[in-house]
Amino acid sequence: MGEKYADPAGPQPPYPLHPSVKDKLDPIYVDFYNSHIFDKQQVHLQPVSASRTSGILIPGGGPKLPVGKTEDIQIQRRETEGPDMPVRVFTPEGERPSDGWPVMVYYHGGGWVLGNIETENTVCTNLCKRAKCVVISVDYRLAPENPYPAAVHDSWEALLWLQSTGISQLHLNPSKVAIGGSSAGGNLAAAMCHKALSSPALVPSFKVQLLIVPVTDNTASPSRTVSWKENEFSPALPAEKMMWYRRHYLPDEKSWKEPEASPLLYEDGWAEQPKALVVVGELDVLRSEGEQYAEKLRKGGVEVDLKVMKGMPHPFLAMDGVLQQGRDTITFMVEALKEAFA
């Protein structure tokens, strides 16, 4: 799976916007797509290796902001098998607070198949500089080489390291910890918030979770999920591409229903969740599962701020250089952190 369109006889660019969504998309996105994206080969129609070496994952990103220090650390595992794992640590400029820096643990997007420690540095530096907190970006292993649950294990190991070593090593405030991520990273962050309930002494407790266009239901499909049906042919993440990611990450279909793969399917623990910012795109296949996740949190009595970004397909956060909705989402994240850490 994933190599089948390496043959030149497979689908080739250009890829005009589909009639089902073309007139619903924000005009600025449409102009950028037609100028920069529609003539490029799509990720799910070429080998994984080609997508990993083709440069920028999503064009249209804004600049990184200057921070006090950026360092990469290799962390050792405590519970799972595998190599040491890299994390990137962004530290703000200026003097450290007397009780230590607040900290945000961040998981990047890319469908558990693409992306790396470089992918969302723009978002991470914005959060670091503007919310005045340390940001730890986790470089979890990717499928198909390392399918589920490798990314879950790595996400958890980062939290174990943070509690046992990172807080003291990086001079962090253990009472001011946030967690979050985008897309596949939002999936991992949500799963970690639930998983943390079973081992409260081993990992930090979280003041807030920031879930941006999160995958919460890996059983979703056009036949049973409203936004999958409405946005089946939406650009950037059509249903076919989401299934390509899913089948790489979750090759065993029986695992699709496991809560650590589909956090929407956790049966309990909702009342104990940290307050949440959930941001979804109106024209994203993942919109419904993000909305349903926010609703489950609300029913559990958790404070939730749900934002639906009008006219937006999936990747608006990564397109903050072009889209106001991307810049606004980063600002929502910064303000949620400032409030949580106040």
Is 28 inside a domain boundary? no
**Partners of 280 in the β-ladder:** 308
Q: Whole-number mean pLDDT of the chain?
A: 95
Of 110, 115, 66, 106, the C-alpha closest to 87 is 106
Q: What is the pLDDT of residues 218-238, one digit of tens each?
A: 999 999 999 999 999 999 999
Catalytic annotation present for 284: yes
Residue 56: predicted pLDDT: 75
**Geometric angle at alpha carbon 137, from 132 and 138, rounded to 5°:** 155
Residue 173: predicted pLDDT: 98
Instruction: Give 169's contacts (C-beta < 8 A, 6+ positions apart).
Output: none
pLDDT at 4 over 60: no
Is 48 inside a domain boundary? no
Q: 26, 154, 217, 284: which one is catalytic?
A: 284
Is 157 inside a domain boundary? yes
Rounded distance between C-alpha atoms, residue 218 and residue 255, angstroms: 9
Is 17 inside a domain boundary? no
pTM of the model: 0.97
Catalytic annotation present for 54: no
DSSP code at position 162: I
> pLDDT band for position 109 (50/70/90)?
very high
Q: 183, 227, 262, 288: which one is catalytic?
A: 183
At residue 158, the 3 state secondary structure works out as helix
Is 4 inside a domain boundary? no
Q: Are strands 304-309 and 69-75 parallel, antiparallel or unpaired?
A: unpaired
At residue 45, the 3 state secondary structure works out as helix
> pLDDT band for position 3 (50/70/90)?
very low
User: In this structure, what CATH number is given to the domain that contains residue 256?
Assistant: 3.40.50.1820
Catalytic annotation present for 248: no
Amino acid letter, 70: T
Of 309, 320, 316, 237, the C-alpha closest to 61 is 320
Is 261 inside a domain boundary? yes
> pLDDT band for position 9 (50/70/90)?
low
DSSP code at position 306: E
At residue 101, the 3 state secondary structure works out as strand
What total number of domains does the chain contain?
Answer: 1
Which residues constitute the domain of residue 221? Answer: 69-341
Is 46 inside a domain boundary? no
The proportion of the chain whose per-residue pLDDT surpasses 70, expressed as a percent, equals 97
Is 328 inside a domain boundary? yes
